[in-house]
Amino acid sequence: MNDTIKTKADYAPNEKKVWRPEFATQVVAPHGSKLDDGTVLFLAIESLQGAFIDGKWEEADSNEEWTETETVTVTDSYTDAEGIEHSVVTKTETVKDFHNEIPRSQRYVLKRFTETGFAENAFSSGYAGPRKYVKN
């Protein structure tokens, strides 16, 4: 299925993304296809490392750490032998540390080696849509 609906990209127009290859495997182009020109093709999985936005580096993933403190107050009342009511207030503090990892975005690309030995995308056009994140 081809998506022909043009949508505005969800990032700054001057954003330059930096991708790192995670995995690659050689593939064979179907005989007679426009990719069957003798070049070496490979399918790669790339992870987004970050982006330069307005000349400033922004990491693709981040880790959040925070501490939450919960205070519980308990009031106990009792009456002694002389009939006097007493109240005892107890405060308990619970400290919890939290750690949250935000995963990197990944993409699958079909690439080929050029005559000079560099890898380039096998298709010059692409699709820009909403980012989807997958936790590993």
The predicted-structure confidence for 99-121, as pLDDT tens digits, reads as follows: 888 777 888 888 888 888 888 88
Contact 132, 126 (CB under 8 A): no
At 102, list the tokens. 């935000």
At 32, list the tokens. 């007679």
Find the DSSP H helices in the chain: none
**Is residue 4 in a domain?**
no
- Which domain, by its residues, includes 104? 16-121
Q: What is the pLDDT of residue 25?
A: 92
What is the domain count for the chain?
Answer: 1
**Is residue 95 in a domain?**
yes
**Is residue 6 in a domain?**
no
The predicted-structure confidence for 31-60, as pLDDT tens digits, reads as follows: 888 888 888 888 889 888 888 888 888 888
**Is residue 134 in a domain?**
no
**Cα–Cα dist 106/22, whole Å:** 9
**Is residue 133 in a domain?**
no
DSSP E strands in the chain: the ranges are: 16-27, 41-53, 56-59, 62-79, 85-102, 106-113, 119-121
At 34, list the tokens. 């426009």
